[in-house]
Amino acid sequence: MDLNRLGKEIHYFRSLRGLSQQELARDICNQSEISRIESGKAFPTLQTLYFISLKLNVPITYLLHTSMNERVDYIEETMSLINELVLHKQYKEVYELTKAELKRTDELEGSYVHFLRWQHAVAAFEMNRMSIEECIGQIEAALQDQTARFLFTAQGLEEKMCNSLAILYAEKKHFSRSFYYYDRIISQETMSQSDPELLLKVFYNYGKALFEAGELEKAEKIINKGIRQSKKLGNMTFLGQLYYQRGCCKETREEPSASKDFFKAYAFMEETGKVVLQAIIYEEKEDYFMNETVRSLYPFPKK
């Protein structure tokens, strides 16, 4: 029985719900007992755990599973490895690893199996071993499995799978379905806490898809939300891309202020070390960067 893991999960969900230890303990137990449970020094009675699960809106079966499943470490390590491979676009390795893991589905729990099927489908598509329609079908089938729904939410998988679907549908120019999945992600109230970087990425991708669909006004509105959220969170990861996409919207409408957004995009690319994207912006929007006043303010490369 893993008391530390159970304690960490209770602490995570308590923080997610915005509760203090004292608020969680009210009408259940003493605050000191919650502290001992979260630090892994005590295991609650089933009655206490049941009332904790009710207040946190988490199935008691999930908390029991967390504390008793000896394979959790292995699963988390494997998921972490796959995510790292995806980050570096090593799709062949992802494909082979997920294929090997899926051969042992009888030994594995539901949400992990769906995670593997999702990543396997995306890797197969990226390697041209699966059509975009097949890839979409497999991810949507996983999302519709109600037995794994809570674990999807708890592990943040639902939003990530929806993001994959939104990107795939946009690639097929099925924009209404793409927008449906982007809206589904943004509607999650806890996204800014659970995975702020994914949320910012979604704002950028959503704005880009709206731009490609010709919905410039809505695109700019979504992008502005992304810019505000980036500043609120103090996260500059996608600010460069967001300003660039807003500049593209303004450029299409022939607004002079487009230049300011391209300059900001360039500067934030510099700040975040995205030199490849920085070079692409300069090459694509070179005319905007020829003004001598502007060149004196930003470290643009010399021709």
Which amino acid type is present at position 141? Answer: A
Query: How many helices (DSSP H) and strands (DSSP E) are in the chain?
Result: 19, 0
Same domain, 31 and 92: no
The domain in which residue 236 lies consists of: 189-303
Question: Do residues 93 and 103 touch, judged by C-beta distance below 8 A?
Answer: no
Which residue, chain included where needed, has tokens 């502290």? 35
Q: Specify the number of domains making up the chain.
A: 3
Same domain, 219 and 144: no
How far out from the chain centre does Cα 143 lie?
A: 15
- Render pLDDT for 183-240 as a digit per residue (tens, 0 to 9): 999 987 666 667 888 999 999 999 999 999 999 999 999 999 999 999 999 999 999 9
- Render pLDDT for 239-296 as a digit per residue (tens, 0 to 9): 999 999 999 999 999 998 898 999 999 999 989 999 899 889 888 888 887 764 555 5
Please check whether residue 251 lies inside any domain of the structure.
yes
Which residue, chain included where needed, has tokens 């930003």? 298
Which residue, chain included where needed, has tokens 């070390």? 273
Q: What is the CATH number of the domain that holds 124?
A: 1.25.40.10
Which amino acid type is present at position 75? Answer: I
Residue 119: name the closest of 62, 171, 161 by CA.
161
pLDDT band at 149 (very low <50, low <70, confident <90, very high): low
Q: What is the CATH number of the domain that holds 29?
A: 1.10.260.40
Which residue, chain included where needed, has tokens 């070079």? 279
For residue 303, give every residue at least 6 positions away whose Cβ sits within 8 Å of its Cβ, in sequence order, or none: none
Same domain, 245 and 289: yes
pTM of this structure: 0.72
DSSP states along 267-286: HHHHHTT-HHHHHHHHHHTG
Same domain, 194 and 303: yes
